[in-house]
C-alpha cells in the first residue's frame, strides 16, 4: 500500500475564514474517520485500531480522559479519538536520511505541525555535545550515556523527570519509583499546567482532588453547569452523555466567553435526528462571561441562595448536611452577603437578570453537577474560583448523592492515573511511607520542582539533566523564549517520544530521543503480550491492550525503557527487580496494589470487564478526608483582573484539529477557520472601538508585571462573537505571550487564559499580501 507523504505546507497562505458553526457533531465517526485512517494506516490496521478503541479487550483511546459509558456501541469513539489513533498508528516513519538532511538547528524553524507530520520515531538518536545533528545510537549506549550523566551529578536534585499524561499507570509507578530511588522528587508533569488548580482547591476543601461523580450521574442530575470547557472539541463524547441527560430531564447551563459549537447544539451521529435533523439544543442557558469572571459569578449565585434561605428559613439550604459534614459556613455566609453586585457585573460582564436566572435554576434543582476544565484552571485566581464552586455545591448538599457533585474533566487520557501512581513533586508522606516500606528504602521527602520551577531551575543553572516521559515541555509551557533558552543550558536532555516536536529541537549540550510504542501497538515482552492500565476522569481504572503490530521493530515500550534506565543508573545489583517489571507487568501491578491507596488486589480487579472504580470518600460516603474531617467552606476575596483602557484580555485555546502541541491539520471547523492558525478572535464592538478592521493584521504585545515586551507578530484579526474585552488565540503559538512567573496563586499553573494584551496594527505577511 502507499502511505501518505508528510505535509509540506506550513504557512497561513491559504487561510480561509467563514462563519462559526452553531452545532457540533453530525458526521458518523466511522464514515468520517475511515478515509483518513485508511490513507495513513491501510485498511486492516484501520479496522483493527478503530474498532478496538474503548472496547472490551481493546485499548483505551489515548486522546482525552473522558470515561467510557457502561454499554459500548460498535464504534465507541469520536472524530478526535480517531484522529489521535490515526496520528499514532500511521505507518509513516522517520528514516535515517531525515536526520542527515535536517540539523537540530534547522528543526527549530519548523512548525509543530510539520514536525509531527514527519512520521513515527523508530530508533534511538543521539546528538553529541558540539554537534548539530542527531545520529543513530544503540539502546545500550543510549542508556549508558544517561547513566553516566545522572551518576555524575553533584546531587540527584540536579535532574528533573517530566511526565505527560499519556503514560500508563504501570510506567508511571515504575518511573516515580526510579526517580525516588535515584534520590529526587523532581517529578513535574503536564498536570502542573493543566488541572493543578483543581487538585489544590478540591484537596483543601473536600480532601480529594478528583471528580466526585460517576458516568451515570449525568443522567440522574437535574442541572449540569459546564464552566470553562469546550467539550465539542476536547471531550467530544461528553456531548452524548449530555444529550442523554437532557433526554432524561436534566437541564444544562454553559458558562463561557465563546459560544462553542458543542455547547449550543449537538448533532449526534449515532442518532437519526442528529444525522439529518436539527440535532439537540444542549444549553438551556448560555452565560457569555468575561474571562476570569467565574469567581464573582459563583459568589453572586451563592448570595442569592442565602437570600432565598432568608426568605424561606429552613427550606433552601441542606441543613442536615451542613450540620453533619461541613465547617466554616457562617464565615462564608457573612462574606457572601457583602458581595458587591456592581463588582460582579464588572467582573462577569453579565446582566443581573442572567445571574438571577442561573440562581433560580440552581435553587430549583435537587441534584446539580458542575463540570470544568482549562477555562477555570489557568487564571491567577483559579484555586479560589474552584473553591467557590465547592462552596456553592455544599450549600445544598450537592455532593455524595446520585446525580450531583463537582466534576473536573481531565485532559490527557491518563493524567489522573499518573498522579494516583505518584507522579507529583509533592506526594504526601503516607504515599512515600508506603513506597519506602514496600521497596525497603528511604524516599526523599523534600518537595521537588514542578514544571514552571523546573524551567526556572534550568534557567538559573540548578538543573543539569531533563528526562521527559512523553510530552513536549518546551512547546507546552509558558514563555517559549525563556523555556527554549533554559533547556539549551542543560548538559543532557532525554525525550521518550512517539513523534517529533519542538522539545527535540531545543535541547541540552547532549540530547537523546528514545522512540516508544503507543497505546495502539502490541507490547510483547519475555512472558508474552502485556497490557497496561489507565484511570479516566471519573476515577474508573481499566486495562488497555494494543492491537496492531508496532510500526517498526526495535522500538521499546515505556515500561522497558524505564526498566533499562533504572538498571543502567542504579546498577545490576540494585535490590529492586527492575528486569522483572519489564518481563511481566503483573509484577509492578502487585507492588501498586500494596502501595497505592484503593488499589488492593489490582491484578484481579483490572482484569474484570470494565475494571473498577477507585474509592472516593466524599462521593461514596460523604466522608471528607480533610484535616478536620469536614468539608471546608472557604472565603475568597474578589479581585477582578484589571484591563487598562485600550487593552484586551487574551485566552489561549485549542483548535478542533489539534491535541495540545500536536496538530492534525490547520483547520478549526467549528470556529470557521481553515488552513491557518495565526489568528486572533476579537469581538466586533471591540474592533470598532480600537479602530482595527476585520481581516487586518496585528502584532499582539502582552503586558506582564516584569515589564518585558513579549510579542506575537502578524496575527490576522477575525471578528468573532466572543465576550466583550476578551480575545482568543491558539495555544501553543501564543505561549510566547505568557510570562513564566505569571502563574495561578496556590497551584503555580501558567495563567494561559488571562493575559493583558495590546494590539498594534501591522502589515500583512508577505504571503497574504501576494494573495
Ligand atoms: N481535540 C482535543 N482534545 C483535547 C485536547 C486537545 O488539545 N485537543 N487537550 C486535552 C487536554 S490536555 C485538556 S486539559 C483538555 C482541555 O479542554 P478545554 O479546557 O475544554 O480546552 P481549551 O481549548 O483550553 O478551552 C477552554 C474553554 O474554556 C473557555 N474559557 C476560557 N477562559 C474562561 C473563563 O475565564 N471562564 C469561563 N467560564 N470559560 C473560559 C474557553 O472559551 C474554552 O471554551 O482537553 C483534552 N482533550
Ligand atoms: N498557552 C497554553 N499553554 C498550555 C495550555 C493552554 O491551554 N494554553 N494547556 C496546558 C495543558 S492543559 C497541558 S496538558 C500541557 C500539555 O503538555 P504536554 O503533555 O507536554 O504536551 P503534548 O502536546 O500533549 O505532548 C505531545 C507529545 O507527546 C509525545 N507522545 C505522544 N504519545 C506518546 C506516548 O504514548 N508515549 C510517549 N512517551 N510520548 C508520546 C509525542 O512525541 C508528542 O509530540 O500544555 C499546557 N500548555
Ligand atoms: S471523547 Fe475523548 S476518549 Fe472518547 S473517543 Fe473522543 S477523544 Fe477519545
Ligand atoms: Mo491538560
pLDDT per residue as tens digits for the range 327-372: 999 999 999 999 999 999 999 999 999 999 999 999 999 999 999 9
Ligand index nearest the alpha carbon of residue 296: 1
**What pLDDT was estimated at residue 749?**
98
**What pLDDT was estimated at residue 29?**
59
Instruction: Say if residue 283 is in the same domain as residue 383.
Output: yes
Alpha-helix runs per DSSP H in 396-428: 415-420
In a domain, 631, yes or no: no
Last residue of a domain, one of 585, 609, 633: 609
Taking the C-alpha atoms of residue 581 and residue 587, their distance in angstroms, rounded to an integer, is 6
Residue 513 has pLDDT above 80, yes or no: yes
- Span 426-454, mean pLDDT? 98
Instruction: Say if residue 398 is in the same domain as residue 444.
Output: no
User: Residues of 661-691 as b/e, b for ≥16 C-beta within 10 angstroms?
Assistant: bbbbbbbbbbbbbbebbbbbbbbeebbeebe
pLDDT per residue as tens digits for the range 104-160: 999 999 999 999 999 999 999 999 999 999 999 999 999 999 999 999 999 999 999
Any ligand 1 atom below 6 A from CB of 259: no
**What pLDDT was estimated at residue 769?**
60
pLDDT class of 162 with cuts at 50, 70, 90: very high
Domain boundaries, position 504: 96-189+414-609
**What pLDDT was estimated at residue 637?**
96
In a domain, 69, yes or no: no
pLDDT per residue as tens digits for the range 407-423: 999 999 999 999 999 99
Instruction: Say if residue 159 is in the same domain as residue 288.
Output: no
pLDDT per residue as tens digits for the range 649-692: 999 999 999 999 999 999 999 999 999 999 999 999 999 999 99
Any ligand 2 atom below 6 A from CB of 661: yes
Residue 3 has pLDDT above 90, yes or no: no
Q: What is the mean pLDDT of the chain?
A: 95
Q: How many domains are contained in the chain?
A: 3
Instruction: Say if residue 372 is in the same domain as residue 235.
Output: yes
pLDDT per residue as tens digits for the range 726-737: 999 999 999 999
Distance 164 CA to ligand 4 centre (A): 9
Instruction: Say if residue 656 is in the same domain as residue 754.
Output: yes
Q: Collapse the DSSP code of 225 into the 3-class scheme (helix H, G, I; strand E, B; otherwise coil) and give the result.
A: strand
Q: Which atom of ligand 1 is nearest to the CA of 291?
A: 35
Indicate the helix (H) or strand (E) that contains 612: strand 612-613
Distance 689 CA to ligand 1 centre (A): 28
Question: Is 168:418 a contact under the CB 8 Å cutoff?
Answer: no
Indicate the helix (H) or strand (E) that contains 145: helix 139-151
Last residue of a domain, one of 374, 408, 442: 408
Distance 478 CA to ligand 2 centre (A): 13
Any ligand 3 atom below 6 A from CB of 59: no
* β partners of residue 533: 543
Question: Is 85:37 a contact under the CB 8 Å cutoff?
Answer: yes
Closest CA to 45 of 549, 552, 499, 553: 549
Distance 672 CA to ligand 4 centre (A): 24
Ligand 2 pocket test: which of 125, 497, 562, 755 has the largest number of ligand atoms within 8 Å of its C-beta? 497
Residue 566 has pLDDT above 70, yes or no: yes
Instruction: Say if residue 588 is in the same domain as residue 457.
Output: yes
The CATH number of the domain holding residue 341 is 3.40.228.10
The count of other CB atoms within 10 Å of the CB of residue 20 is: 20
pLDDT class of 57 with cuts at 50, 70, 90: confident
In a domain, 18, yes or no: no
The CATH number of the domain holding residue 757 is 2.40.40.20
Instruction: Say if residue 669 is in the same domain as residue 601.
Output: no
In a domain, 570, yes or no: yes
- Which pTM value belongs to this model? 0.97
Residue 475 has pLDDT above 80, yes or no: yes
Any ligand 3 atom below 6 A from CB of 77: yes
- Span 13-25, mean pLDDT? 90
- Span 272-288, mean pLDDT? 83
Strands 662-663 and 658-659: antiparallel
Instruction: Say if residue 476 is in the same domain as residue 514.
Output: yes
Ligand 2 pocket test: which of 190, 555, 651 has the largest number of ligand atoms within 8 Å of its C-beta? 190
Instruction: Say if residue 363 is in the same domain as residue 251.
Output: yes
pLDDT class of 26 with cuts at 50, 70, 90: low
Any ligand 1 atom below 6 A from CB of 229: yes
pLDDT class of 11 with cuts at 50, 70, 90: confident
In a domain, 721, yes or no: yes
Closest CA to 405 of 622, 250, 230, 635: 622
Distance 231 CA to ligand 1 centre (A): 8
Q: What share of the chain is helix, strand, coil (3-state, %, to 5)?
A: 40, 20, 45
Residue 709 has pLDDT above 70, yes or no: yes
In a domain, 89, yes or no: no
Indicate the helix (H) or strand (E) that contains 700: strand 697-703
Any ligand 2 atom below 6 A from CB of 193: yes
The four Cα atoms 605, 608, 610, 614 give a dihedral, to 10 degrees, of -10
Taking the C-alpha atoms of residue 649 and residue 637, their distance in angstroms, rounded to an integer, is 21
pLDDT per residue as tens digits for the range 197-245: 999 999 999 999 999 999 999 999 999 999 999 999 999 999 999 999 9
Distance 665 CA to ligand 1 centre (A): 18
pLDDT per residue as tens digits for the range 595-609: 999 999 999 999 999
Question: Is 650:737 a contact under the CB 8 Å cutoff?
Answer: yes
Instruction: Say if residue 185 is in the same domain as residue 208.
Output: no
Distance 194 CA to ligand 4 centre (A): 4
User: Residues of 446-464 as b/e, b for ≥16 C-beta within 10 angstroms?
Assistant: eebbbbbbbbbbbbeeebb
In a domain, 401, yes or no: yes
In a domain, 320, yes or no: yes
Indicate the helix (H) or strand (E) that contains 114: helix 112-116
All residues at 6 or more sequence positions from 163 whose CB lies less than 8 Å from its CB, including other chains = 172, 175, 187, 188, 189, 190, 418, 423, 468, 469, 470, 471
Instruction: Say if residue 226 is in the same domain as residue 310.
Output: yes
Higher pLDDT, 386 or 768: 386
Instruction: Say if residue 721 is in the same domain as residue 654.
Output: yes
Last residue of a domain, one of 408, 428, 446: 408
Question: Is 186:157 a contact under the CB 8 Å cutoff?
Answer: yes
Amino acid at each position: 500500500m502507499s502511505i501518505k507523504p508528510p505535509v509540506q505546507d506550513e504557512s497561513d497562505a491559504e487561510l480561509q475564514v467563514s462563519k462559526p458553526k452553531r452545532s457540533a457533531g453530525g458526521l458518523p465517526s466511522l464514515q468520517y474517520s475511515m478515509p483518513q485512517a485508511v490513507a495513513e494506516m491501510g485498511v486492516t490496521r484501520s479496522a483493527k485500531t478503530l474498532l478496538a478503541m474503548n472496547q472490551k479487550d481493546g485499548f483505551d483511546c489515548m486522546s482525552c480522559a473522558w470515561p467510557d459509558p457502561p454499554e459500548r456501541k460498535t464504534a465507541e469513539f469520536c472524530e478526535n479519538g480517531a484522529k489521535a489513533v490515526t496520528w499514532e498508528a500511521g505507518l509513516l516513519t522517520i528514516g535515517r536520511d531525515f536526520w542527515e538532511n535536517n540539523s537540530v538547528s534547522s528543526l527549530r524553524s519548523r512548525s509543530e505541525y510539520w514536525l509531527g507530520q514527519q512520521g513515527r520515531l523508530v530508533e534511538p538518536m543521539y546528538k553529541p555535545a558540539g554537534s548539530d545533528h542527531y545520529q543513530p545510537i544503540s539502546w545500550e549506549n543510549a542508556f549508558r550515556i544517561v547513566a553516566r550523566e545522572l551518576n555524575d551529578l553533584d546531587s540527584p536534585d540536579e535532574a528533573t523527570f517530566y511526565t505527560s499524561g499519556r503514560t500508563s499507570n504501570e510506567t508511571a509507578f515504575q518511573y516515580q519509583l526510579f526517580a525516588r530511588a535515584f534520590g529526587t522528587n523532581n517529578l513535574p508533569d503536564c498536570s502542573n499546567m493543566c488541572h493543578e488548580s483543581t487538585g489544590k482547591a478540591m484537596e483543601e476543601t473536600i480532601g480529594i482532588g478528583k471528580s466526585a461523580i460517576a458516568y451515570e450521574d449525568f443522567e440522574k442530575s437535574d442541572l449540569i453547569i459546564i464552566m470553562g470547557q469546550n467539550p465539542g472539541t476536547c471531550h467530544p463524547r461528553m456531548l452524548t452523555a449530555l444529550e442523554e441527560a437532557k433526554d432524561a430531564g436534566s437541564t444544562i447551563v454553559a458558562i463561557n466567553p465563546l459560544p462553542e459549537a458543542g455547547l449550543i447544539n449537538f448533532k449526534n451521529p449515532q442518532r437519526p435526528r442528529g444525522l439529518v435533523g436539527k440535532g439537540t439544543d444542549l444549553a438551556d442557558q448560555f452565560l457569555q462571561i468575561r474571562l476570569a469572571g467565574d469567581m464573582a459569578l459563583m459568589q453572586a449565585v451563592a448570595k442569592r441562595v442565602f437570600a432565598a434561605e432568608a426568605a424561606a428559613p429552613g427550606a433552601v439550604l441542606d441543613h442536615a448536611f451542613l450540620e453533619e459534614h461541613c465547617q466554616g459556613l457562617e464565615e462564608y455566609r457573612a462574606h457572601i452577603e457583602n458581595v458587591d453586585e456592581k463588582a460582579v457585573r464588572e467582573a462577569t460582564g453579565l446582566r443581573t437578570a442572567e445571574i438571577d436566572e442561573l440562581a433560580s435554576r440552581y435553587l430549583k434543582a435537587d441534584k446539580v453537577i458542575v463540570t470544568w476544565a482549562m477555562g477555570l484552571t489557568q487564571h491567577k485566581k483559579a484555586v479560589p474560583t474552584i473553591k467557590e464552586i465547592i462552596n456553592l455545591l455544599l450549600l445544598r448538599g450537592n455532593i455524595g448523592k446520585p446525580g450531583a457533585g463537582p466534576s473536573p474533566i481531565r485532559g490527557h487520557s491518563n493524567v489522573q492515573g499518573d498522579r494516583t501512581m505518584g507522579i507529583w513533586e509533592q506526594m504526601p508522606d503516607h504515599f512515600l511511607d508506603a513506597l519506602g516500606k514496600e521497596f525497603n528504602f528511604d524516599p526523599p521527602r523534600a518537595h521537588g520542582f514542578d514544571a514552571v520551577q523546573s524551567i526556572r531551575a534550568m534557567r538559573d543553572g540548578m538543573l543539569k539533566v531533563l528526562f521527559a516521559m512523553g510530552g513536549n515541555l518546551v512547546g507546552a509551557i509558558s514563555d517559549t523564549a525563556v523555556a527554549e533558552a533554559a533547556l539549551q543550558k542543560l548538559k543532557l536532555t532525554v525525550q521518550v517520544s512517539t513523534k517529533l516536536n519542538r522539545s527535540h529541537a531545543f535541547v541540552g549540550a547532549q540530547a537523546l530521543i528514545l522512540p516508544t510504542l503507543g497505546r495502539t501497538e502490541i507490547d510483547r515482552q519475555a512472558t508474552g503480550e502485556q497490557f497496561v492500565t489507565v484511570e479516566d476522569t471519573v476515577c474508573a481504572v481499566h486495562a488497555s491492550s494494543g492491537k496492531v503490530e508496532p510500526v517498526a521493530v526495535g522500538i521499546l515500550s515505556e515500561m522497558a525503557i524505564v526498566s533499562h534506565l533504572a538498571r543502567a543508573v542504579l546498577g545490576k545489583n540494585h535490590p529492586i527487580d527492575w528486569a522483572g517489571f519489564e518481563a511481566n507487568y503483573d509484577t509492578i501491578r502487585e507492588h501498586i496494589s500494596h502501595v497505592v491507596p484503593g488499589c488492593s488486589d489490582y491484578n484481579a480487579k483490572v482484569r474484570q470487564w470494565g475494571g473498577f472504580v477507585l474509592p472516593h470518600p466524599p462521593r461514596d460516603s460523604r466522608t471528607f478526608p480533610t484535616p478536620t474531617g469536614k468539608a471546608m467552606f472557604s472565603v475568597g476575596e474578589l479581585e477582578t483582573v484589571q484591563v487598562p483602557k485600550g487593552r484586551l484580555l487574551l485566552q489561549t485555546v485549542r483548535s478542533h484539529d489539534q491535541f495540545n502541541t500536536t496538530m492534525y491539520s490547520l483547520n478549526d471547523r467549528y470556529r470557521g477557520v481553515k488552513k491557518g492558525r495565526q489568528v486572533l478572535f476579537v469581538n466586533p464592538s471591540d474592533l470598532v472601538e480600537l479602530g482595527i478592521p476585520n481581516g487586518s493584521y496585528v502584532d499582539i504585545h502582552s503586558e506582564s508585571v516584569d515589564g518585558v515586551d513579549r510579542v506575537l507578530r502578524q496575527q490576522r484579526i477575525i471578528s468573532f462573537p466572543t465576550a466583550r474585552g476578551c480575545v482568543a488565540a491558539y495555544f501553543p503559538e501564543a505561549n510566547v505571550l505568557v510570562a513564566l512567573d505569571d502563574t495561578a496563586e496556590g497551584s503555580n499553573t501558567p495563567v494561559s487564559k488571562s493575559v493583558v494584551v495590546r494590539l498594534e496594527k501591522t502589515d500583512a505577511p508577505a504571503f497574504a499580501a501576494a494573495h
